[in-house]
Structure 1
Amino acid sequence: MIGSANPVAGIKVLHKALNVLETIRGSAAGLGLADVSRRIGLPKPTVYRILSTLEARGYLDRREDGRYRLARRLTQEPDQASVEEVLRCVARPVMQALADSCKETVNLGVLDGSEVTVIETIESPHAVRMSSKVGNRRYLHSTALGKVILADLDESEVLRFVRRKSLPRLTPKTIADVDQLLEELRKVRQQGHAMDNQEHEPDGRCLGAGIRGVGGRVVGALSISGPAHRMTRPYVRSLLPHLLEACEAISAELRRRW
């Protein structure tokens, strides 16, 4: 029955959850399970349940390295949040059509500090696929989404990102040299698209292109990703026109609305 729950126990759980949120809010880099447990003095299983619930409800984002950060909706300025909501709304049906056509995972990403964050995703129906979810944060230099975003920036801005995050080598093919990255970005600008050739994950490839708003600046990026054994060079070439068409459709609708 509704009135049978123990209100005192409920308040205690709420206090614990708020302590977790406040602790994570105080760390710009995010905190892992062990860090949160140690700082607030609660057992790991308890903290894990709270973290999982807050993530599922959209209050926390879990990074690839296992650290948690406040979800973007808690930290965004209202104008920024509304812009991204429009972008997601416009992009979603186009992404669905693209995913239905290519049968691979389609991601929509935006610049978030020194990383790219996935704000919408449609996963491949294949059992073996590149998995993704909204809120995933990824490096700029190792992903097709990130390269597209970096390529729209001035070289001085790119160097600032590099100094802030460095260029960690995630796989043997990751670009970890500044000059090599700058050359890669020149190619992206010239070609109008970017490729992650097993640079972020050793068994995955990803093709990305930019979405442009008013003034022609990149406001987001769209990508198609899949296992390397399916994302062969001929198949990637066949996907490119469809990806570019999708990006242009989203860009045109954004310009119309804005």
Structure 2
Amino acid sequence: MVLEVVHRSGASSLAFLAEQTDLPKPTLLRICATLEKRRWLIRRSSDGFYQLGSGFPHSGGMPELADRLVAVAKEEIVRLSAETGLGVDLAAAIGEGRIEIVDTTRVFKKHGVYPDTVGFRPSPTVSALGVAFLLGLVETGNFEALQRMEKNQTREITSALPKLSKTLTEGAKRGYAIRAHGHWGRAVDYGELPSAIAVPVISGTEAIGALNLVWNASDQSVEAVAKMHLTRLQSTAKRIGQSYDAFS
């Protein structure tokens, strides 16, 4: 019944599942925990909603890489968010130099930034997450992905390519990627311009995604956040990569 509800309705809260199945919440928590272990369900960090995982035998399940990444990173991103007081986004590689946000800790009342980002694909050239992932591709020597990205050019990528080499050089030098000046992404819905710093998530010799800290730009400068929290961000990304590599 639980799987039918999630399959039919999409991401579902525990309260919604209780309403649809007439099962008590303690029972549902046990059922959902079992389904999570089998990777038939994934529980999102941002809102606690359940959605299908890659173990569920249906094409709508999350891709294997994203599923594994969410599973090993869930507690890490919640801890990082609690330690810094900032929103955290986790993005997974989807091919050709692109990534997709697969989990987030953003809560608007707490962080003041647009929260509904799961499923969004950040710009590879002007978003902090996108540039961080490209830095990871460079670090691991995966230049083929960069070349494929350049061949499948969108107007956005075409206009940013002349500056990309400089952007990557500066990012590598400072140790993190930042949003391009004036880039809004999906922040426009809330009327506040966010800032972000991001680093790649690397497992073995493969860049598998990126991790960021995001906040309302008027609250703190990029330099101040990097000074306070960059080490935590880098350490968390490293642990996620190691855990992903060891995940079975």
- Computing the radius of gyration over CA atoms, which structure comes out larger, 1 or 2? 1
Cross-structure match for 1:139: 123
Q: Secondary structure of the equivalent of 2:159?
A: coil
Whether the aligned pair in 2 keeps the contact of 1:148 and 1:193 (CA below 8 Å) is: yes
4+ residue segments displaced more than 4 Å: 53-56, 71-76, 153-156
Q: Would you say 1:166 and 2:154 are equivalent positions?
A: yes
Task: Determine the C-alpha separation between the residues in 2 that align with 1:187 and 1:231.
Answer: 21
Size of the aligned set, in residue pairs, is 186
RMSD: 3.2
Distance in 1 separating the partners of 2:200 and 2:70: 14
Deviations 1:59-107 (A, max 9, x none): xxxxxxxxxxxx996668x9x8233222111111010011112222111
Indicate the residue corresponding to 1:92 in structure 2: 74
Q: Secondary structure at the match of 1:134?
A: coil
Give the alignment partner of residue 106 of structure 2, picking from 123, 126, 129.
123
Preserved contact between residue 155 and residue 182 of structure 1 (Cα < 8 Å):
no
Amino acid at match of 1:226: W
Mark the CA change 1:177 to 1:197 in structure 2 (over 3 Å): closer, same or farther: closer
CA distance in 2, matches of 1:85, 1:198: 32
Structure 1's 205 and 256: CA in aligned 2 closer, same or farther, altered over 3 A? Answer: same
- 1:57 matches 2:10: yes
Corresponding residue of 1:13: none
Q: TM-score normalised to the size of structure 1?
A: 0.61
Paired residues of 2:111 and 2:216 also in contact (CA < 8 A)? no
1:179 and 2:167 aligned: no
Aligned counterpart, 1:105 = 87
- Per the alignment, residue 223 of structure 1 pairs with 212
Equivalent residues of 2:88, 2:104 under 8 A apart = yes
**Structure-1 separation of matches of 2:84 and 2:232:** 9
Would you say the 8 A contact 2:201–2:237 is kept in 1? yes
TM-score between the two structures when normalised by the length of structure 2? 0.63
Unaligned runs of 5+ in 1: 1-52, 59-70, 170-174
Residue in structure 2 matched with residue 8 of structure 1 by the alignment: none
The partner residue of 1:235 within 213, 222, 225 is 225
Runs of 5+ consecutive residues of structure 2 not aligned to the other structure: 1-5, 12-51, 185-191
2:64 matched residue in structure 1: 82
